[in-house]
Amino acid sequence: MKATFKSSYRKMDKNQQPTTVFVFAVTGTAEELAKYKEAQKEHYKVNPDGEVLWFTTRFQGDVVKLSISAKSGKVVCDNTEMDKTNSLIEQNKGALGEALARLYAERIMGVQHRPYVPMNEPAVEGPANLGE
């Protein structure tokens, strides 16, 4: 299954502390969505457009993989890519680790770097008047 970020909103948690809830649209095969509905029980929600929704207080990215835990039966986000990146950051202390962390954070936030393009050399002038 795949979940795509749609929106977020603020609410009070069970300790009356403000928290952010992230809303994702869930897509998958008919079988996956049926298992998702069964796993979500009373938390299963569909918006007026018919999109199946997933709510979480932990933002994981704009598009994430979802699965149902064999142990708990709950819907969980696949954190494999995040875990791999965190491992690389932890292995590379200092400037390299900081650079990796910055690049990872930018990727999550959707920052796109444009390649450096040096300024063009002045154009070579052609014949002043081809009609002469």
60 and 101 share a domain? no
Residue 35 amino acid letter:
K
Per-residue 3-state assignment (H helix, E strand, C coil) for the chain: CEEEEEEEEEEECCCCCEEEEEEEEEECCHHHHHHHHHHHHHHCEECCCCCEEEEECCCCCCEEEEEECCCCCCEEECCHHHHHHHHHHHHCCCHHHHHHHHHHHHHHHCCCCCCCCCCCCCCCCCCCCCCC
User: Does residue 85 lie within any of the structural domains?
Assistant: yes
User: Does residue 117 lie within any of the structural domains?
Assistant: no
Report the relative pairing of strands 63-68 and 75-77 from DSSP bridges.
antiparallel
Domain span at residue 16?
2-78
- The model's pLDDT over 26-80, given as tens digits with 9 standing for 90+, comes to 999 999 999 999 999 999 999 999 999 999 999 888 899 999 999 999 999 988 8
1 neighbors 35 (Cβ within 8 angstroms): no
12 and 25 share a domain? yes
Q: How far apart are CA 84 and CA 63, in angstroms?
A: 17
14 and 29 share a domain? yes
pLDDT tier for residue 109 given thresholds of 50, 70 and 90: confident
73 and 86 share a domain? no
Instruction: Give the per-residue pLDDT at 112.
Output: 75
Instruction: Give the per-residue pLDDT at 107.
Output: 79
69 and 52 share a domain? yes
77 neighbors 22 (Cβ within 8 angstroms): no
61 and 31 share a domain? yes
State the greatest distance between any 2 C-alpha atoms of the chain, in Å, as a whole number: 86
pLDDT tier for residue 106 given thresholds of 50, 70 and 90: confident
pLDDT tier for residue 110 given thresholds of 50, 70 and 90: confident
